[in-house]
Amino acid sequence: MKIKLFTIPNLLTLANLLCGSFAAVAALAYGNLSLAFGLIVLAAVFDFLDGFAARLLHQSSPIGLQLDSLADDITFGFAPAAVLYTLYGRMHAHLLPDASWIPFVVFIYAAFAALRLARFNIDDTQRDEFLGLPSPAAALFCASLGWLSEGYGTVVSRESVLIVALGMAILMLVGVRMFALKFHGFGWRGNELRYGFILVSAALLLWLGGLAVPFIILLYILISLVRSMVCRREKEVDLHN
């Protein structure tokens, strides 16, 4: 069987991988967390475009699926963990001891991102919605903290950095269904939640600018949790009826 490696979707996926690699270097080697965040955002755009191109050009393939997860593990797993590692070194602790091994705890996030991506590859129920927090959303939240620290002077404690790393890691594997921004046509009906979320997110960006990024991710998590509880309750009512 002939395998095409350099298709347009695969090239977009490789662009995603390269952006994630450069983001990690920007954070660890140069300490430029704003650049790292920008590269992760750009990688997320490529991540969206590769799937769009694959569907548009009818070039979906098993190798594309595997390549996508490998790229995502770098961009949305290792790179944001690198940002948190660098950010940890710049902040002060209130309760934690000054032990050299503690900063490496943030890389648990990268390990959990790999688990999340591996589960996604074999779970056919995650095509229209996700099980657990999508790794791009978790990565944008983590990486935005470094950008907010440099661009807005936001100060967080070392304890908060660890809580974010571990909290996002757990949310990626939690058994909660979270909605995907995959539209069923362009009409309002059936896409109410997606359009509503995009409109609120746009309003927050206009109001708060860059400060809105972590709030948008938290809003996504909150809406998904509420939606999951409502759906679960409706199923229980249907079973009793």
Tens place of pLDDT for every residue, the chain, 241 residues? Answer: 566 778 888 899 999 999 999 999 999 999 999 999 999 999 999 998 888 787 777 777 788 888 988 999 999 999 999 999 999 988 887 777 778 889 999 999 999 999 999 998 888 777 778 889 999 999 999 999 999 999 888 888 899 999 999 999 999 999 888 888 775 656 667 678 888 899 999 999 999 888 899 999 999 999 999 888 887 777 766 666 6
| Rounded alpha-carbon distances, angstroms, from residue 97 to 70, 109, 116, 165 | 35, 21, 31, 18
| Rounded alpha-carbon distances, angstroms, from residue 185 to 28, 53, 134, 224 | 42, 17, 22, 21
Amino acid found at 24:
A
pLDDT of the residue at 185: 59
> Looking at the structure, do residues 186 and 199 belong to the same domain, yes or no?
yes
The domain that holds 109 is classified in CATH as 1.20.120.1760
Residue 164 covered by a domain: yes
Gap between the Cα atoms of 210 and 225, Å rounded: 24
Q: What is the largest CA-CA distance in the chain?
A: 61
pLDDT of the residue at 210: 81
Which of these three, 130, 147, 175, is where a domain ends?
Answer: 175
Residue 161 covered by a domain: yes
Q: Are 172 and 116 in contact, with CB atoms under 8 Å apart?
A: yes
pLDDT of the residue at 237: 65
Please, what's the b/e burial string for 118-147 (b: 16 or more CB within 10 A of its CB; e: otherwise)? Answer: eebeeeeebeeebbbbbbbbbbbbbbbbbb
pLDDT of the residue at 186: 64
> Looking at the structure, do residues 169 and 234 belong to the same domain, yes or no?
no
The β-bridge partners of 130 are 178
Domain count, the chain: 2
SS3 179: strand
The β-bridge partners of 178 are 130
pLDDT of the residue at 171: 95
Residue span of the structural domain in which 165 resides:
8-175
> Looking at the structure, do residues 222 and 118 belong to the same domain, yes or no?
no
Gap between the Cα atoms of 216 and 218, Å rounded: 5
Quote the tokens at residue 239: 């079973």
